[in-house]
A and B are shown apart, each in its own frame.
Chain A
């Protein structure tokens, strides 16, 4: 199998606070994880690529000081939204890359809905 979990599944926070979202690959090791943001009825926007043991690579236009990514182990990556504001409210989805001849693909977590009041 290839199961990816995210925690929490939803979170509501006050403006100005920070929120941490965890992404775990449960039954495989993922050297690379990806973080996406999805607005209502839109496609996924890649925010950053997270590699275990190194700094994340952010896509153009994504504030690295705003969205802190840590890939602490081969099964865990975290996204911290710092000093959250209402415009950060969104659906955040992570994925984990599983390599191999027949398994080469990304597996997605169920997503985390963030609401900033």
Chain B
């Protein structure tokens, strides 16, 4: 079945450090890929998305590139801030899959001064 694998957290970084959160997927078709962010006590917010191979999604300094050859969608940010502390979820929707999201387990990011 379809699945998403994320690196385990928590990830703790100093402010202005470079961030990478790995995400790989397994899918029988051609999925759209997403990163969602969840701040403490809140629901999920769409951070960025990519719908086809080689697409790059970007938002708020975060970016991720859809790599079909490595089935990956790693999240990166050049300089993190304390306000980026949250849980990040990688997810996919399979075309023709009833619009259901398949989530990774989430990676908690903590940014310290």
Contacts and interface: CB of A to CB of B under 8 A. Distances in A.
Answer yes or no: do A and B interact: yes
A84 B12 CA distance: 38
B51 A104 contact: yes
Contact of B93 (A43, A93, A105): A105
Contact of B43 (A43, A105, A111): A111
Which of B44, B103, B106 gathers the greatest number of chain A CB atoms within 10 Å?
Answer: B44
Contacts, number: 50
A104 B52 CA distance: 12
Contacts of B34: 105
Contacts of B108: 41
B37 to A, nearest CB: 10
A97 B44 CA distance: 14
Q: How large is the interface on B (under 10, 10 to 19, 20 to 34, 35 or more residues)?
A: 20 to 34
Interface of A: 6, 32, 34, 41-44, 46, 49, 93, 95, 97, 99, 104-111, 113
Nearest to A92: B43
B106 A43 contact: yes
A6 to B, nearest CB: 7
Given A43-B103, A44-B103, A49 B98 contact: yes
